[in-house]
Homo-oligomer: A and B are copies of this chain.
Amino acid sequence: MRILVTGAEGFIGRALLCRLLTDMDGTDVTGLDLAVAPPWASGDRLRWIRGGLDDRAVLEQLGAAPFDLVFHLASIPGGRAEAEPALGRRVNLDASLDLLQLLAQSRHRPRVVYASSIAVYGALSQAPVSAQTEARPAITYGAHKRMVEIALADHTRRGDLSGIALRLPGIVARPRPVSGFGSAFMSELLHALSAGESYVCPVSPDATAWWLSAKAAVDNLVLAGKLDVCGTLQPPALRLSIAEVVASSVQLFGTARSAGVSFAPDARIEAVFGRYPELDASAELALGFAHDASVADMISNAVGARIWRDKKANSPQ
């Protein structure tokens, strides 16, 4: 099986690539990114293409190699797309449409897993959100993600792609410095909690958000690649308040590490990123999609090895 991962050196791309190379035997993986190949990427099973999908030469290279499965993750983040909408269009919309069109022309109906975003929903009411909730994007990034969902669905209807779009929430914990994402505070908070640093949280303790670790996001992406289901799906995520995340981190890291967290809610951030309603992902759960098993799991998946190293060092046993 030949697999393509776009945005392969991004936060999720890197985790996905490692998983694919570790777990799936008999696969050839091509990573595409503006960044150079990571140093560990020299194996026989990983080919690396450095460049962007808005580069004709890159598309030609991709066109020459038929892929069975494509994970399309490459995009510029929401903050940057909002500031530079023409760049956002070129990378997040046009280049995505070019990729889909190229793959559709391959005539063997490749599977395409598209990393869409909960940004497609726009302002959320307090009603539970599911993939059936009407998309009314309120940022340019979300508008482009929605447009690509529609194009993917149309290619799927035409029978030239087998497309599935997952509307991912803000994934934690992005590496520092976390920038360009409105939900950056979620990652920043986890880094601060795990490191015992002081952190001024821009939303209140009862602000609720959807939390999903990169590990769980990769689980869901890999499953999406294997399923024989097409369409736009809302993967499950834990709906947690900041207070719940802090409380769980106290159990993981001890009280001292959470002592540095203080709150200075920013009304704008709180309104957009701190009032997430219930998530109804029952259809997706039935298909096998899953959130992190618990708050503690989400935190430990998110900030990874640091916890276990520290726990071991601090363990009374």
Give A contacts to B, CB under 8 Å.
Answer: 85-86, 89, 93-94, 97, 101, 134, 137-138, 140, 143, 146-147, 150-151, 153-154, 157-158
Is B137 in contact with A134, judged by CB distance below 8 angstroms? Answer: no
Name which residue of chain B comes closest to A141, CB basis: B154
Nearest 6 pairs of A and B residues by beta carbon: A143-B154, A147-B147, A143-B150, A140-B154, A147-B150, A146-B150
CB-defined contacts of A138 to chain B, threshold 8 Å? 157
Is A143 in contact with B137, judged by CB distance below 8 angstroms? Answer: no
Name which residue of chain B comes closest to A148, CB basis: B147
Is A153 in contact with B143, judged by CB distance below 8 angstroms? Answer: yes
Min CB distance, A122 to chain B, in Å? Answer: 9
Min CB distance, A83 to chain B, in Å? Answer: 11
18 contacts between A and B (CB under 8 A): A86-B101, A89-B97, A89-B101, A93-B97, A94-B94, A134-B134, A137-B150, A137-B154, A138-B157, A140-B154, A140-B158, A143-B150, A143-B153, A143-B154, A146-B150, A147-B147, A147-B150, A147-B151
Is B158 in contact with A85, judged by CB distance below 8 angstroms? Answer: yes
CB-defined contacts of A158 to chain B, threshold 8 Å? 85, 140
Name which residue of chain B comes closest to A135, CB basis: B150
CB-defined contacts of A151 to chain B, threshold 8 Å? 143, 147
Known: A137-B150, A140-B158, A143-B150; 9 extra A-B contacts, CB below 8 A, are A86-B101, A93-B97, A137-B154, A138-B157, A140-B154, A143-B151, A146-B150, A147-B147, A147-B150
- Tell me, in angstroms, the Cα distance from A86 to B86 when the chains sit together: 22
CB-defined contacts of A146 to chain B, threshold 8 Å? 150
Name which residue of chain B comes closest to A104, CB basis: B85
Min CB distance, A95 to chain B, in Å? Answer: 12
CB-defined contacts of A101 to chain B, threshold 8 Å? 86, 89
Q: Choose among A138, A154, A157 the residue with the greatest number of B CB atoms under 10 Å from its CB.
A: A154
CB-defined contacts of A85 to chain B, threshold 8 Å? 158
Name which residue of chain B comes closest to A146, CB basis: B150
CB-defined contacts of A157 to chain B, threshold 8 Å? 138
Min CB distance, A97 to chain B, in Å? Answer: 7
CB-defined contacts of A154 to chain B, threshold 8 Å? 137, 140, 143
- Tell me, in angstroms, the Cα distance from A93 to B134 when the chains sit together: 22
Min CB distance, A259 to chain B, in Å? Answer: 41
